[in-house]
Structure formats: C-alpha cells, structure tokens
Amino acid sequence: MNEKRFDMSRRGFIAAAGTAAIAAAGIGLAGCSPEAADNQGNQAGSESKKTIPDQFTDGTYITNAISMHGPIDVKTVVADGKLESITVLNHNESRVIGEYAIDNMPARIVESQCIDADAITGATMTSTAIKNAVTEAIIEAGGDPNEFSGYTAPTPSKQTIEKSADIAIMGAGPAGLMAAWSAAEQGKSVVICERMGYTGGCTPITGCGIYTQETQIQKAWGLDQVMESHRTIDHRLEIYAGRMQTEDNPYYNPDMPFIKNILHSSQRAVDKMLQIGVGFCPIGNTGVPVLAPGDFQIGGKFAVQIITNYITTQLGVEIITEAPVTALAAEDGKVVGFTAEAADGTTYNISAQAVVLASGGYIMNDELMKEYQPDDLKFPLMGPPWATGDGMLLAKDAGAAWICMDKGVTSHYHAGVSLAETSYIHYCVPGVVVNGNGDRFVDETISYIIALRKFKEEPTTDFYWIFDEPASYGLQPNGNSTRIDYSFLLETGDIIIGENYEDLAEKAGLAGLTATLDTVNDCALNGAEDPCGNKSLAAMKLDGPMYAMKIVPTPYIAQGGVQVDLDGRVQREDGSVIDGLYAVGDVTGALENRDGADYMIGLTQAFGYGLIVGETVAKDLG
C-alpha cells in the first residue's frame, strides 16, 4: 500500500496488535501493509497476520489503539462503502473527560465521514485513539484512509441571547460549582458559563482526595483509625507549619490565615456533600479519604454528577456549557457581567450584580509559562486544556493584581514514551528513580513540587522508574490499593525488562544502575543511611526479572494567580477591592503560597474556598 499521512496529536502512540503506528503531531503516520501489520502483530503477541481485501469491503471490524489510560477497543461497521457506525466497546479513559470524547467523537466521524474530524476539545488523546482505531478498520476493510479526510467544521449559527442573574460564574469546576451552591442556598440566582462540554473541571482527573479533619465521615470512621497528623485541623496546621518556607520568603505568615480558611471551610464543604449523597471511600493509609468509589476518574465523576444535578434541579442554578467567557462588562468601575461565545456561534450577554472567576490556572498558556516558569518548559506540560489563564487575563484587564507568580509549578509523572498518565506509579509499584546514567538523585517519597526542582537540576530529561518482579504485580489493578491498571504500559514500549539487574542495566543503557541498586539493598537490608534521604526503601530481588519504566515529570498546575483577600474578593496591586469581582480555585493560584507554604491538595482549596466565596458574594449583595 502507498504511504498514508495524516495530522495527529502531539502525543505519540504505539498501537496494539494489528493497529497502525501513530506518531506525534507534525510527524507522518505510515499506513500498514499486510507485512507491516504482521510484524507489529507478532511483536504484540498476535498469532497470525490479518488478511486485507483488495477493495473496500462491507463488514464489522474490531480494532484498537492506545490512549492515555490504556487500550481502546472500537467496532467500525462499513456498509455500502461508508462508515455506517462506530462504537467504543471497551476503554479505561477518564470517566468524564475521556467519556465525553467516547460519546461524541464516533458520531462526529460518522456524520462527516472524515477520520480527520476535529478532536473533542479537552480530550485530544482519547479522540486521536478513536481516530487511529477507525483508520486501522478502514485499512483492514481494504479502503484508503485518504478517501475519508477533508473535514470541514459546521458553520456556526449567529444569535445573541441576553440573560440576567444575581451572580455570573466563569467556570463549572469544583470551585465554581461550590460557589454557585452556597450562593444559591442564600436565595441568589446564578448562571455559570463553562468553556468545556461538561462540568467538574479537574475533579475527575485528580486523585479525588480531600482533607476531612473534624468532618462527619472522620467521626464515623473513628479517630483511632486516623493518622494523628490528620485527626484535627490543628494537627494539619502543625504539618503546614513544618513545611513553611521562612527564609527570604516575602509571603511567610505564621498565622496562616488562608490555610486556616481552607481547612475550616473544606470541613463544612465535605459535610455538605455528604448530606446530598456524595460518597467517600474509607480513610486509607494516606489519612485522606477519596471520593467514592475510587481515585482519579470514577469518584470524581459521581461527585460532579451529584453536585451538578443538585444545584441545577433543586437550587435553580443555570449552567451553559461550551460557552467560554471572552470579556467582562463594567460600569463606573464595577464589574456587572460578562460575555460568553458558545461553540455553536451563540453569544451570551450575562448581566449580574457580581461575577465570580473560577476558570482555572495558566499552565497551558505558553506565553505566560515562558514569562514566569521558563525552566519548567524542558518537560511536557500536562495541565487541563482549559488552564490557559483566561480568567487571570480578564481580571488583569479589570485592574486586578497577580500574586505568587514566582512560586513555580507542581507536577506528576507520565510514561516517557507514550506519555500515558502514571501519577500513582509510586503508590502502586514500589521502586526508585534514576537518571539516564542509572544514578539516584531524589528521595522518591518527597512531594512532587520539591522533586521537580531536583529533576530540573539534572542535565537531561532521561529518567526511569526501576522496580523488581514482586513490585511488577502492582501494574495490575488487583495488585495495588488504588485499583489503577498500568499493565498496558508493558505494550507501549515504556517498560524495558531485564533477566536481572545487570541485564536490565545493559538493555536500558544505565551504566550506574547495578551500583545504585546494590546501595539500595544495602540501605534496606542493613540499615545503612540512604544518601537521597528516603527512609522507606524496600529491598529488591535483583537476581530475578527487573524493570525500567521511562518516566517524565509533567507540570500540571502553575501556582500563581489572581490576588484575592481572605474572602475571595479580587484586589488591585494596592490591596483595594474591585467592586463586583470575585475569584476562586486555580485562577487564584495555590492559596497556601499566600501564607508561605507549598501547595498540597487542590480539591480541598477548590471546594472549601468555593463555599467561602459563594457565601461572601451572597452577603455582599445583601
């Protein structure tokens, strides 16, 4: 077959047996010949090559591709020379963002008959995986993928809708939803404009942990079951005090007013969520329960659904999705509403007595990152797609100050080849981090924020997570406490396997690895002090199979943002308040920084301060 080329995402994928190999954006995708498909299939465990007909043949084709959380299986039905239907059969994608693409991308391809149809905003990896699988189905049917290209987006409609409310909120993430909830309970009418097609913001793609000191769930669980450091708000304040950066820190405040607000208000927010049926898992060994029924995707999905349904059906909050806010409206120095431009071409002019910015941070704004965090750009940014600083820029245009822009970013891990998410790999698969020479350089137990500073000091971006055969069971969902499936990483080229640690060092090109792991075992078995400071090192089984997974730090939150007072009122540089303008969530940055501490758990701030801001606005409006 002739070479086929398509425009793809910036992330690379390695398809499973029989699928086409996809490259990152700007690099071509070569269509598979029968021989190429056979070679790929054999490498991935296929028993025989697939037969491709000489002409485009009707039928049902089952294909798959690798996305952020593993393989996606897709059924494509070809009838009368067309793509009649596309169905995703199986996936492990995020339960809100990924599912949004799974629900909408197949229909977009079928309606347009174009595999180059625009990706679903915010779900590029999932959209691309679906397109990759359909591309392979076309090839298997004997068709030419080039004949299914030339996508043209529908022409948007042109209409303007005028709306009014007491409060207009930009963003329906956890902070915006909670602000709407608490304000609506005070009898205020609320309209939210959300740029994405779904609500919840970062909630479904976080670890879903929330501090619950002195909440009903903690009392029901029993204090004797809770780590001492997590039993009361005072205990948490002691932890924060120990993490304060006091030396030459212009933000240092030993009274911790912002942190106290976060902890006290999150306690009230958690109890409110419990009252409407939001569930939490029991408190685990981290001391922090997560949204039920589990970490990352599922718990966040259910919590968001319950809160969204409750505030819209019971409290009358109106939410307009796919409608990014583009401008604030002001009269005589007071903010009195905003304009939103919907994806379908509709313009919404929302007049209000007050506006709340809950639009997220700026990690995905290249210009702001180059200005404030240029050193972090050596790593791929994996922030949410809506974190482009829109709310911050609108606030600045209205006269607001930005603060803590020098506090950097926080990051997680992603797999270094596929860029699949591996944020919890250190919880699931015990191991150690080494650089491209095989040398350890960081304490694997420290926070991501501090660890990222160590990664940036290294001259290269080659890093590996090293683990042994017993630890490898944690790649399976039934082998780790978080129930996360990382086993697909064995198929993506992210993991190198050696017969023992010497063989692994040779295969991965890690010259110093054998000496490094000898030192690890000496520390773990003989009580020697770890030179990197890790007090929880476990001995490794070095004479059996050993694994090296290439990893990369991935900044996902930039910690500066709009300056607000303790109640969420937006401030100018001189500390004066901009009338009618409030902000909450990542748009204000990590409020712990305002007291001189590092960022900890974002959902605690989002839900807690969302509650404060909603109450503040309602009180200010009278």
Compare 269 and 412 and report the one with higher pLDDT.
Answer: 269
DSSP assigned state of 125:
H
DSSP assigned state of 479:
G
In whole angstroms, give the CA distance from residue 593 to residue 252.
8
Q: Give first-to-last CA distance, the chain, whole Å.
A: 71
pLDDT of residue 555 exceeding 50, the answer is yes
Joined together, the tokens standing for residue 78 give 């070809």
In whole angstroms, give the CA distance from residue 598 to residue 452.
13
pLDDT of residue 10 exceeding 70, the answer is no
**pLDDT of amino acid 5:** 29
pLDDT of residue 366 exceeding 50, the answer is yes
**pLDDT of amino acid 283:** 62
The whole-number average pLDDT for the span 436-461 is: 90
Asked whether the beta carbons of 341 and 244 are under 8 A apart, the reply is no
State percent of the chain over pLDDT 90. 62
Give the pLDDT band of residue 280 (cuts 50, 70, 90).
confident
pTM for the full model? Answer: 0.82
| Element holding 165 (H helix, E strand) | strand 159-170
The whole-number average pLDDT for the span 11-28 is: 29
**pLDDT of amino acid 17:** 30
**pLDDT of amino acid 15:** 30
For 460-495, the pLDDT digits (tens) are: 889 999 999 999 999 998 887 777 889 989 988 999
**pLDDT of amino acid 574:** 97
The whole-number average pLDDT for the span 113-127 is: 87
In whole angstroms, give the CA distance from residue 338 to residue 275.
33
pLDDT of residue 38 exceeding 60, the answer is no
Asked whether the beta carbons of 390 and 359 are under 8 A apart, the reply is yes
Structural domains for the chain: 34-148 (3.90.1010.20), 159-408+559-621 (3.50.50.60), 410-551 (3.90.700.10)
Where does residue 216 rank: exposed (0-12), middle (13-18), buried (19+ CB within 10 A)?
middle
pLDDT of residue 23 exceeding 50, the answer is no
Give the pLDDT band of residue 342 (cuts 50, 70, 90).
very high
In whole angstroms, give the CA distance from residue 307 to residue 381.
29
**413 CB neighbour count, 10 Å cutoff:** 23
For 127-179, the pLDDT digits (tens) are: 999 999 999 999 999 999 999 999 988 887 789 999 999 999 999 999 999 99
The whole-number average pLDDT for the span 577-598 is: 95
Taking CA atoms, 568 is separated from 360, 399, 406, 580, 609, in Å, by 15, 16, 21, 11, 8
**pLDDT of amino acid 48:** 52
Which residue, 134, 280, 152, is CA-closest to 220? 280
Give the pLDDT band of residue 71 (cuts 50, 70, 90).
confident
Which residue, 213, 362, 344, 347, is CA-closest to 288? 213
Compare 371 and 203 and report the one with higher pLDDT.
Answer: 371
Angle between helices 602-621 and 257-275 (to 10 degrees): 90
